[in-house]
Amino acid sequence: MQNIFYDLVKCILILFISVSYLYAQDGEVIAHWDFNEGAGDSAYDISGNNNHFKLYNGIKWVDGINGKALSFDGIDDKGLCESKPSQSGFSAFSIEAVIMIDKYPEDGDYVVILNKWGQGSVEDDAWGFCINNTAPFNDQMSVITPNGWNRIRGSKPLPLKEWIHYVFTWDGKTMYTYKNGVKADSATAPYSGCMRQVDVPITLGAYEGNRQYLCGKIDEMLLYNYALTAQNVKFRYTSLFNRNKHIIADWNNMFIIPVCNNMFITVK
């Protein structure tokens, strides 16, 4: 009984301190898709910002690392999220995703994971996450400012048939990518200024012009209007991939709060 009481006190302390850090962040979660619906043609944004995806052409629901996930056939599967002003125009930005690549591109075109690109000129583009169209089939993230494109390419290929926790951050000056909680690549952004403000949908698993289709799976995915720290990223990875293990809280982090006896509380 005494152990239960001490565990309860620890849980309350962890929750209090983590919430304090949450509200101290200079930014917010723009969208959070956990893809746990498990059926249907919609994937809902659980951040409260109503950035919901409409799913097209029979995207399959499969098991992910945390509940359900979406499986894309590489032929015509895609998701579209209606455009909103809150989806672009940032001075800093992060994307977090849990993905599995089932097949590399074959047609010489990039494969899209998630983007906010238009079909016309560069003035319709804000940001994009894709897989390179030639070996070594590495990841590529882009943030577009009025002054030009800022790109970072992975130094190693993304593995096939393996769940990867992927994070991209941009603080307005430097871009970083992380894979499975570890910093993978970095680059100085050659073009300064805020990201372009554009009025085009967010597309999932394809380019908006009905091409560049993903053959793979997507689980958790989040957008932030600030740059996550290395500590945030590590903690997010550990929390998502070790939900059945006891984890000691890292006071410098937030979002997923590990509590006693293998229990978790998610603060949104």
pLDDT of residue 33: 98
- Is the confidence at residue 88, as pLDDT, over 60? yes
pLDDT of residue 25: 55
pLDDT of residue 263: 39
User: Could you read off the pLDDT of 162-190 as tens digits, one per residue?
Assistant: 999 999 999 999 999 999 999 999 999 99
User: Could you read off the pLDDT of 32-55 as tens digits, one per residue?
Assistant: 999 999 999 999 999 999 999 999
Token digits of residue 242: 């070790």
Higher pLDDT, 221 or 2: 221
Q: Where are the domains of the chain?
A: 1-26+246-268, 28-225
CA-to-CA distance for 254 and 232, rounded, in angstroms?
Answer: 7
pLDDT band at 212 (very low <50, low <70, confident <90, very high): confident
Average pLDDT of the chain, as a whole number = 84
Q: What is the pTM of this model?
A: 0.82
User: Could you read off the pLDDT of 120-174 as tens digits, one per residue?
Assistant: 677 889 999 998 877 778 899 999 999 999 999 999 888 999 999 999 999 999 9
Please state the separation of Cα 38 from the chain's center in Å: 19
pLDDT band at 258 (very low <50, low <70, confident <90, very high): very low
pLDDT of residue 262: 37
Comparing 29-33, 96-100, 116-120, 170-174, which segment has the lowest mean pLDDT? 116-120
Output the 3-class SS for the chain: CHHHHHHHHHHHHHHHHHHHHHHHCCCCEEEEECCCCCCCCEECECCCCCCCEEEECCCEEEECCCCEEEEEECCCCEEEECCCHHHCCCCCEEEEEEEEECCCCCCCCCEEEEEECCCCCHHHCCEEEEECCCCCCEEEEEEEECCEEEEEEEEEECCECCCEEEEEEECCCEEEEEECCEEEEEEECCCCCCCCCCCCCEEECCECCCECCCEEEEEEEEEECCCCCHHHHHHHHHHHHCCCCCCCCCCCCCCEEEECCCEEEECC
pLDDT band at 66 (very low <50, low <70, confident <90, very high): confident
Comparing 64-68, 91-95, 259-263, which segment has the lowest mean pLDDT? 259-263
Distances (CA, A) of 14 to 24, 56, 59, 245, 254: 15, 41, 39, 17, 10
In CATH terms, is domain 28-225 a member of 2.60.120.200? yes
- Is the confidence at residue 255, as pLDDT, over 90? no
